[in-house]
């Protein structure tokens, strides 16, 4: 039992010191997941807002497809990205496997369907009232989508944050495509996994604490935005 207590005490020491190795891992995690979230959002939000505002046959097919992809386990995403980026894979010439770039690609692929699906549903439900208003003002398709994004930004922000927390907390995909190389591609989740298999629980616990803190901050932000959004909506 005492090793758990010892682990926690040492963990707090590590967090307070915030030394090079530890800071490096935390910052890399943030960088990878932040980059992936930005890339996925920049594409998914405008695209699926635009599509969601359009009324066409097969809308439910799009929804179902997005939902399927959304529930894809991260190890499958990791496997697919790994196969594509491998030296003999179709994108092998990029020489990305086992690099931070590959991890960003994997997380982008992982959260893209999540942001897409949520944006698409939002566009269908709330966006169309914005659209009717915009059309009475004579706006075109792209203009309408821009307007809808602006009007619904609080909701979209919550989605983006949800996607970020999914990205930063996943371990399977980044482990497979990053290789968990010390000092280069190790992030919080993969390091926890590694130190667990090395039996060095102190660093694992301290990273776990940071991850928990981060996700509670994220949830807190998301929650306060939701409040604000609801107020705005009513």
Dihedral of CA 199/200/206/207: which sign?
Answer: negative
Q: Which is nearer to other proteins, 37 or 180 (CB)?
A: 180
CB of 98 to other proteins, least distance (A): 6
**Among the listed residues 161, 180, 183, the one whose alpha carbon sits nearest the alpha carbon of residue 171:** 180
Q: Which is nearer to other proteins, 88 or 231 (CB)?
A: 88
Which residues does 228 contact at the CB level (< 8 Å), separation at least 6? 154
CB of 88 to other proteins, least distance (A): 6
Q: What is the binding site for other proteins (CB under 8 A)?
A: 3, 86-88, 92, 95, 97-98, 179-182, 184-185, 194, 196-199
Q: Which is nearer to other proteins, 12 or 83 (CB)?
A: 83
CB of 73 to other proteins, least distance (A): 17
CB of 179 to other proteins, least distance (A): 5
- Whether the CB-CB separation of 183 and 24 falls below 8 Å is answered with yes
Q: Which is nearer to other proteins, 198 or 230 (CB)?
A: 198
**Among the listed residues 51, 37, 31, 226, the one whose alpha carbon sits nearest the alpha carbon of residue 114:** 37
Q: Which is nearer to other proteins, 144 or 185 (CB)?
A: 185
- Whether the CB-CB separation of 203 and 195 falls below 8 Å is answered with yes
Q: Which is nearer to other proteins, 79 or 86 (CB)?
A: 86
- Whether the CB-CB separation of 184 and 102 falls below 8 Å is answered with no
CB of 199 to other proteins, least distance (A): 4
Which residues does 169 contact at the CB level (< 8 Å), separation at least 6? 189, 211, 215
CB of 70 to other proteins, least distance (A): 28
In 156-189, which positions are buried (b, 16+ CB within 10 angstroms) versus exposed (e)? bbbbbbbbbbbbbbbbbbbbbbbbbeeeebbbbb
């Amino acid at each position: 039992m005492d090793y758990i207590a010892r682990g926690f005490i040492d963990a707090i020491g590590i967090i307070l010191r915030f030394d090079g190795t530890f800071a490096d891992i935390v910052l890399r995690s943030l960088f990878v997941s932040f980059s992936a979230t930005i890339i996925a959002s920049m594409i998914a939000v405008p695209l699926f807002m635009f599509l969601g505002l359009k009324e066409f046959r097969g809308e439910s097919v799009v929804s179902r497809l997005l939902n399927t992809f959304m529930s894809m386990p991260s190890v499958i995403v990791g496997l697919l990205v790994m196969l594509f980026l491998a030296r003999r894979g179709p994108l092998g010439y990029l020489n990305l496997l086992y690099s931070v770039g590959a991890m960003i690609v994997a997380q982008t692929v992982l959260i893209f369907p999540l942001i897409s699906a949520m944006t698409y549903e939002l566009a269908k439900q709330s966006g169309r009232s914005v659209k009717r208003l915009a059309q009475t003002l004579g706006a075109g398709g792209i203009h309408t989508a821009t307007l809808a994004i602006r009007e619904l930004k609080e909701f979209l922000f919550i989605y983006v944050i949800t996607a970020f927390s999914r990205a930063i907390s996943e371990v399977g995909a980044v482990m497979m495509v990053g290789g968990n190389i010390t000092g280069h591609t190790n992030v919080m989740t993969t390091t926890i996994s590694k130190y667990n298999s090395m039996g060095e629980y102190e660093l694992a616990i301290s990273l776990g604490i940071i991850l928990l803190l981060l996700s509670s901050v994220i949830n807190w932000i998301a929650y306060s935005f939701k409040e604000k959004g609801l107020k705005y909506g009513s």
